[in-house]
Amino acid sequence: MKIISGTYKGRRLLSLKSKIRPTSEKVREALFDILGDVSGLTLMDLYAGCGAVGFEAISRGADRVTFVEKKGRICRYIRSNILELGMDVNTVKILCMDALHAVKLLNEQNSRFNLIFADPPYLSGECGRLIDNLMNIMELVESGYFILQAHKRENLKDVNWEDVRNYGETGLYFLRND
């Protein structure tokens, strides 16, 4: 898994080989082509895994990324990637907790993000949990997007998505908060 553009272009990310499904280079490239310039923006990477989307955002000029990953072992990989890349620790934050607990905590702290990207495990029921809590998630979005990456067979409960893009089995679903 490598970063595809920006300051850290070509740098490899440490990742667990079997426990996570990182967002592919093809999907990340499409995502950032859709988003355009992310310079100066803030991103929350829910279900971060190895952090590929968050690291890609920082490489492309995002000001700050908050990684949310519930598994401690995977959080350690994110920390290792931060150190390995030599990133400014003030640009990244890691919350090693359940995604919805993190959303609640960040709402209580009045945190706001320009982009929230969520990539829950495919066909696990986590998309349903996110959608059931969409109002709380959207409170965190300040003039930007909530983007859900999901398997195209996932039941997304009649959300009025602004845009949907499919890449093989993967779908990117966009909601904008103006």
**Considering the chain, what percentage of its residues have pLDDT values greater than 70?**
96
Q: What's the pLDDT tens digit per position in 54-66?
A: 999 999 999 999 9
pLDDT, mean over the chain: 91
Q: Which CATH class is domain 25-177?
A: alpha beta
Mean pLDDT across the stretch 4-15? 90
Residue-range domain boundaries for the chain: 25-177
Give the pLDDT of residue 15. 72
Cβ atoms of 21 and 122 closer than 8 Å: yes
Give the pLDDT of residue 13. 87
Burial category of 150 from C-beta neighbours within 10 Å (exposed 0-12, middle 13-18, buried 19 and up): buried
Provide the CB-side half-sphere exposure for 73 (13 A, CA): 6
Sheet strands side by side (includes 113-118): 92-95, 64-68, 42-46, 113-118, 141-151, 170-177, 163-167
CA 38 – CA 34 distance, rounded (Å)? 11
- Here the tokens at position 40 are 């100066």
- Is the predicted pLDDT of residue 16 greater than 70, yes or no? no
pLDDT band (50, 70, 90) for residue 122:
confident
pLDDT band (50, 70, 90) for residue 144:
very high
pLDDT band (50, 70, 90) for residue 6:
very high
pLDDT band (50, 70, 90) for residue 84:
very high
**Residue with token string 């706001």:** 112
Higher-pLDDT residue of 30 and 17 is 30
